[in-house]
Structures are given as structure tokens and as C-alpha cells.
Amino acid sequence: MPDGWRKMWVLVFYDLPVAGPNERRAARKFHEFLVRQGFDRVHYSIYNRFCGSMERANTYERRVEKAVPKRGYVCLLKLTDRQMANMRRWIKGGYDPHESAQFTPPEQYRLF
């Protein structure tokens, strides 16, 4: 199997209720969990993480499943590296979403 089909990405999409203080706390804890696990923000309530293999992607799937709050909607999608390479992004008007979010590249991309 070609290498691009073995390497995996995990995307997490979520919509959590924040009507009361307990729900806001649960939503914040879930967001902090994703950041601690090495997920990067793609868009508001959409995070991704490079996993390298299906086994590692399954590990993160189990971790996310355990961290899902009692109320809300969380969706997890696994994509191959080759599928992820087909993603197209359009950023116009000088807007850079990572600039305001203080984007830091994931560990596996840091060479020095």
C-alpha cells in the first residue's frame, strides 16, 4: 500500500451547548483536552491532528470518545494523508486565521 494511504489524520468537529456555567465549563475542558492532545485548530470547533498510522488514529479516537462531554455533538473523521493533501484553502484579503490564534506547528513538523 502506498505510504500516503497509510498515514492518517484525525479531524474532530463539535458543537457543544454553552447555556449554563456547567456546560461552558465542559465545553472549555473539551477544547483544552484537544489542545493538550496535540490537535490544531482548523476552524472554530474543528480540530485536526496528524497520527501517522491507523493504529495511532484509533488511539486518539478512543481518547476523544472518553473526553466527550455529557451533552453536545462531537464528530470524528479519519482521513488518509493523501486525502488530506486534496484539501484546498482560500484565504483572501490578507486574513490569516493562524495569526490571531498564535498558531504553533505540531511537533512532527519541527525539524530544528
Long-range pairs, 38-46, Cβ under 8 A, ≥24: 38/106, 38/107, 39/10, 39/12, 40/103, 40/106, 41/101, 41/103, 42/11, 43/97, 45/13, 45/14, 45/15, 45/16, 46/11, 46/12, 46/13
Domains detected in the chain? 3-87+102-109 (3.30.70.240)
Q: What is the pLDDT of residues 67-92, one digit of tens each?
A: 999 999 999 999 998 898 888 877 77
pLDDT in tens, 26-60: 999 999 999 999 999 988 899 999 998 999 999 99
Q: State yes or no: 15 annotated in a binding site.
A: yes
